[in-house]
Amino acid sequence: MSLAQLKSLPQTAIGGLNPIRIVVVAAALVLGVLAPSYFVLNSIRAVAGAYSPTPFFDQWGVVFDYASIDSVGDFLAVLFRQSNEHRILFPRLIFFTDLYVFRGGNVLNLASTFAVQAASLALLARLAWDADRKAASLILAGLAAALMFSFGQWENFLWGFQVQFVLVYAAGAGSIYLFYRAFAGDGRPDYRTWAASLLLLVVSAFSMANGVIAGAAAVAVGLLARLPARALGLHAAATGLVLAIYLIGYQGVPGHSKLDAVLTTPLLFAEYVATYLGNLARFHGLPESQALGAVGLILALAAAARVALGRDKSPERLALVGVMAFIIATAMVTGAGRLGFGLLQAFSSRYLTPTSWFWAVQAIFWLPLIAARLRLANFAATAAVALAALVFLYDLQVDSRPDFYHRATQTRAASDILLTGANDPEPLLMIHWDMSLLDKGAGILRDRRLSLYREGAHLWVGRRIDQVATLAGREACLGAFDVLETAPKGAALRGLGWAWDVADDRPVDRIVVTDGGGVVIGLGGASFMPRGDVMDAVDVVDEELVGWSAVIRRPKQPEIVAYAALRDGRMCEIGRKAVP
């Protein structure tokens, strides 16, 4: 049925609209706005609730880089310095700004990641609008929103260092799109737009190593589209120059696979690429993920064939295929370097950012072609696919939570160990593998009052609780001190319980533990362990994540006391335990 036929249907008295049009508008709003909003808001809320300023693994390298800067020359050298195989110049600018201006709070890093994803969504929405320009385009944009903010990529959202992992794809895709805008139109070449494309290419390349592939992908698809040789030559030369600058002083990374591993095990390499491209289905199993990846590869080849046959010539359509090529090439390069780590390494949550891009552009490319002359059929097909995809992504959202909360809990525990100096080394391995480097990095942050030390909670340790804050009556909080046990390794104690701030009507963020004499010997916070039992038993508690865990230095007294740090600055006792 065409739009003209739709308009000719009998109208009802409800606003002069026919029933089919009402259904179309309602479906577009639900699938294009309401459902995707869940993914965006749910991911933002989860990351905000699990926030920690504590650096994680490679992020400690940023601390050492920052401490090594004594001059402008040092600053420029550090910006260009390798981080593994990458040159993270632009992410480092964000990291250093966070340390210098915001005292290493990590908020700027995390906010930058979400801002980049929002920019990615804006580009995808623009491509979706060009693809359909009707109600279905809103659904396509909504599906892109669900993919860009899918919780499956939680590692990139939770770890401030990972802003590079979203920036490389946003900048690379933007560069590809602007290149075609500059040279694929019917008018004269737009060299200003091309200059913007080159700028984004530089940002992409100096965010992560695979960023330079965006330039090569743009040229490759441009060849298929038979773009002017001058345009392709200019962009290829510019890409080569960016690569040449990138390789100045480059050092190989020990431990990564070599090219001969690809040549000697081509089947395994192909399986890795398919697993990578299909990792959205990782909770369904390896065969299912590989099958999904294989389907994606076939669809990408079919899209490239359409370009070669001249069926897709607009800058937007070429950009969609260019991004497909960019992500596939990234999967291949990643496989070449990570093949030795096994196929399951392709399931890493950080890789769901590029595959979210891959499937977003696939949907925007193919769905508008379904029954293109029958707009109602096109809308119905788009809505059906989007609904199925949203259900699939919802399952991914739920299944990803345990890993996310486990990482957040371990990071919080490691932070409390650093703040208290408790002898409990096991959680520290969750934030860095080298204890000597970790101790050195923590010393830098402590001396400069940055990151986890900026609020001064570590200064409470060894002081009396009444010197730290005013004590509140027991009516100001609810809670319990449920468990006290010795850490599996080390002499520290670990405590578990739950707490609720009555006045603020919310869970408690900080726990302070004292010995029997009132001297602070431990710190804790949210454990992210669901406490449905508390919700069932206590009427005022309306959230499951009210649990806390604490790390405690072993006291000389036989009893310890746990306090909830309330939002108004007071401390409220929530329980006591005998020392085991």
Q: How far is CA 515 from CA 45, 360, 440, 558, in A?
A: 35, 55, 29, 8
- CA-wise closest residue to 168 among 145, 198, 201: 201
For residues 36 and 397, give the distance between their C-alpha atoms in angstroms, rounded to a whole number: 12
Last residue of a domain, one of 376, 406, 436: 406
| β-bridge pairing 547-552 and 493-501 | antiparallel
Residues 78-111: pLDDT tens digits? 999 999 899 999 999 999 999 999 999 999 999 9
Q: Please check whether residues 351 and 489 belong to one and the same domain.
A: no
Residue 373 has which token pair? Answer: 């002359």
Look at residue 106 in the predicted model and tell me its pLDDT. 96
Give the pTM.
0.92
Question: Does 468 lie in the same domain as 388?
Answer: no
In a domain, 447, yes or no: no
Residue 445 domain-assigned? no
Question: Do 383 and 468 sit in the same domain of this protein?
Answer: no
R_g of the chain computed on alpha carbons: 27
Q: Do residues 358 and 467 both lie within one domain?
A: no
> Do 331 and 206 reside in the same domain of the chain?
yes
How far is Cα 172 from Cα 156, in angstroms, rounded to an integer? 17
Whether 450 is in a domain gets the answer no
350/330 Cα distance (integer angstroms): 13
Among the candidates 386, 406, 426, a domain finishes at 406
Q: Does the CA dihedral 239-244-250-254 come out positive or negative?
A: positive
Within the chain, which residues score under 50 in pLDDT?
1-15
| Domain finish residue from 387, 406, 425 | 406
So what's the pLDDT on residue 281?
Answer: 95
Q: Is residue 344 part of a domain?
A: yes
Give the domain range for residue 470. Answer: 463-578
Angle between helices 352-366 and 375-420 (to 10 degrees): 170
393 within domain boundaries:
yes
Number of domains in the chain: 2
Cα gap 123→125, rounded to integer Å: 5
pLDDT at 491: 87
Closest among 404, 512, 405, 515 to 455, alpha carbons compared: 512
- pLDDT at position 154: 96
What are 323's two structure tokens? 């991004």
Check whether residue 481 and residue 376 sit in a common domain.
no
* Same structural domain, 396 and 469: no
Kindly give the pairing relationship between strand 506-507 and strand 559-565.
unpaired
**527: which 2 tokens?**
């454990």
